[in-house]
Amino acid sequence: MRLTRYFLPVLKETPKEAEIISHQLMLRAGLIKQQAAGSYSWLPLGYRVLMKVQRIVEEEQNRAGAIELLMPTLQSADLWRESGRYDAYGKEMLRIKDRHEREMLYGPTNEEMITDIFRSYVRSYKDLPLNLYHVQWKFRDEVRPRFGAMRSREFLMKDAYSFDLDKARAVAAYHRMFVAYLRTYWRMGLTAIPMRAETGPIGGDLSHEFIVLADTGESGVFCHADLLSKPIPGADTDFRGDLSAIVSDWTSLYAATEDMIDMAEYEASVPEDKRISARGIEVGQTFYFGTKYTAPMKATVTGADGQEVAVHMGSYGVGVTRVVPAIIEAGHDENGIIWPVSVAPFEAVLINLKAGDTESDAACDKLYAELNTAGIDALYDDRDLGAGGKFATADLIGIPYQLIVGPRGLKEGQAEIKHRKTGERETLPIGGAVGRLKSLIEPQRRDQA
């Protein structure tokens, strides 16, 4: 993509309303634009990141055996009355009426609707297990939306729902999602720690929040330091097998949110030099809640003995729009964002230091064609702008690698590659620049696939 043909409205100054670094950088780098309190347009650069995050989420859900569908954003109030949650949910639910005075709501979550879909089609225990998921915009009328996309009123969420014949099988399904979540966040360059959590209005008695440690996090968290360096299950993980050992390994080390902390247990089970008391950003949550929805909504199947059985459910959310600022909180410096290759809007940016110069233009055009042929997702900064402005833009938007070409280097037949994360610079023959970039990028693609 040529920058002269792209829409990238970067800002020089930090907007006053932005309180935390991710919000500041998302506005300055042209990722989002606020439309109303807690409501944002995702501009082209931000949308590219969002879609890469969503793709990873979907790939790991599919790998774990979940099946994708799509449900409406507007839901009937009658479904929520069946489950008993319509009046109990609170003011966060946006309640509306259509022109026929039918009561509707803008879905904050989809347990009721997915249960209705299940009960309409599934009749026998032979059709289980089943896990259905979608990625959809949600709305929760937060009292105080803040921190940009971190805590917005309208947000994109992946929510999955498992259906199993009994508790043992439902917990096994929970374990599959638990492991899938470990892999999901790792592929995005995040260390997300599963912590005991309250179930809130979703319900149930088993839940984990996946937390990224950050000073700007809203939750107080307590955990064992070794959780920060535990190995993540690999791509060869068999999601058809028993994953309880992996889950037990992770949950054997203490980790809990401030709502669930048992200080006596924490201090007794975690050595003093291994205790972490910090702030964290919740990027996802998993729940097992048994028959909380299926019993009142009569979502049953015929068991092997011919008797009707209310199925056991779990639900599993990933805040897709929340993940993006979490990645920025975990990866930035004084100059801007530092994206991991897996979610970067572009993998490399080609910087023409003297656009309009015949030799520079010809060399950059050739390199840009080679980058495309090599399958490298590249942005070409071909603007008629000084070198300082181009470097500032490249650092701000956080592209992992910068390929820098100018008249001085061309006289020596050389180009330069800058590593955004480390600041390291390499000078090399221009003919080997694309090959070198490919050698840097491809291993990271493989490692996070």
So what's the pLDDT on residue 449?
75
Task: List, for residues 352-372, the tens digit of each pLDDT value.
Answer: 999 999 999 999 999 999 999
Nearest to 247 by CA among 196, 198, 310: 196
Average pLDDT, integer, range 313-327? 97
Above 80 in pLDDT, residue 196?
yes
Above 80 in pLDDT, residue 42?
yes
Which residue reads 């791509």 in tokens?
A: 235
So what's the pLDDT on residue 201?
65
What number of residues does the chain have? 449
Query: Is the distance from CB of 283 to CB of 217 less than 8 angstroms?
Result: no
Q: Is the pLDDT higher at 236 or at 417?
A: 417
Question: What is this structure's pTM?
Answer: 0.95
Above 80 in pLDDT, residue 205?
no
Task: List, for residues 79-122, the tens digit of each pLDDT value.
Answer: 999 999 999 898 899 999 999 999 999 999 999 999 999 999 99
Task: List, for residues 387-432, the tens digit of each pLDDT value.
Answer: 999 999 999 999 999 999 999 999 999 999 999 999 999 999 999 9
For the chain, the helix, strand and coil percentages under 3-state DSSP, each to the nearest 5:
35, 30, 35
Locate 371 and state its tokens: 């980058």
* CA distances (Å), origin 447, targets 244, 345, 438: 24, 18, 14
So what's the pLDDT on residue 203?
62
> What share of the chain in percent tops pLDDT 90?
90
Average pLDDT, integer, range 12-32? 93
Average pLDDT, integer, range 168-174? 96
86-90, 277-281, 314-318, 335-339, range with the lowest pLDDT: 86-90
So what's the pLDDT on residue 202?
64
Q: Which domains, and CATH codes, for the chain?
A: 3-336 (3.30.930.10), 346-447 (3.40.50.800)
359-365-366-369 Cα dihedral, nearest 10 degrees: 180
- For residue 16, name the pLDDT band (cuts at 50, 70, 90): confident
